[in-house]
Structure 1
């Protein structure tokens, strides 16, 4: 055995178990899912090969189309607001004080709750008849807004709930990014008598560029898979106004037992998430190259 081969053996022994588990847990299920999406199959039978029939049916399905539009809309509602709010909290709490530490723990605490608890809390808040928000508005003489039963407000209910639930991790990521900014940059800005806005736009934001990209990409991928809030808060209603793609898949797979059709929807969602993520990465990379060019 050659010396180069001996050097490779320890490396293969080190990464081999990981590669084996990776293939068993991710690659094989993904390939099986693609195979399943090409069949008309339910939970009780072997099914039959249908080729691309499930995908053709998806493109002609108005319910899937509506769920896809709902998913994109709620993602656009959540991601920009979540990013801005998380950045604002990180800037406000980036202090080495006991009060800031307590507030960081409070804002992060919602992230450890299950989706069931979160939706239960927000049902008590958003219910127009006996909810906290409805009671406050009635006491002020206003008519409570039907967040959970109005087609125009149902997605906002999902967005508000998700932002409250998800704010912790982006805030911590921004805090970590802020702590990596060299202090001498702020000292130089103070000596130059730069305003807070100029310091923020010229020092803080450029330093947080990679963190912002990470937050936006992670949250976009997460919100395109939004499910629990839609199922438990509004049940996809009213009239499908808050049905997301993952809720559509759940209804098809476990309500109508059309596993092949549901898997085809899952593969479409996977391609959409992959395409959106790669597009974001490409656009931010191009923007970074433009900045370096200047």
Structure 2
């Protein structure tokens, strides 16, 4: 596995195709795609507040024959809101989405705050294999009480005591400008080297601006759900799950133990901790992640 060199250019491909579907209840789910239309379908559950437009691994996607599909979660980007939505509700949205688009054998990638959504899909049997990359763990789990930074522990406690008030607070706080600066500030040297590249920064900011295009409510709901207890048990997951973490990842809202506890909760999990990587390894190490996802 080739180590990422700090300062190396990271390509952020524009979507090859854009579209939307209408679910049975009338809600619109918007999607973006990269790679061949007849490739192996891989669903990307993107990170906090980023829209469907932020792809990854341009060369790997093309070279491995991957049909990468990113879908805006409800209330983000161009997908219609779904007040009161849940992680398990998202899994049912994806089940219907896959049926409407004929996506047989769907695999998944859950990045950062998108990881709990991807894991919910795996638990519901919607995916055939999953890669969790720099994934947010179940931060509300008691095992993390003493491991979380004070500021994250405060948010988790607030979500537990008064979810509605916490969601309103997240909405008042959320904006693409503030969130981008927080992501950069929380990252280590490896991650800042990616985030501050002009081309990547422009694509990342554009995806965040689109994520907030309907206002902050979608981001606020996402954040509440990832600060709360998960409504599914990871132990029920039966499909292969690869957990990918960078040893240099400093983000406080990913996993306090780089996925060690999560790996113990998922019977089918394999954990990879890359010593040279930070939290942005979805872009710096896309090829090995996708190779494992396709079956090694």
Q: TM-score, normalised by structure 1?
A: 0.24
Whichever of the two has the greater Rg, that structure is 1
Answer 1 or 2: higher relative contact order, Cα 8 Å, separation at least 6: 1
Greater share of helix: 1
Greater share of strand: 2
Q: TM-score, normalised by structure 2?
A: 0.24
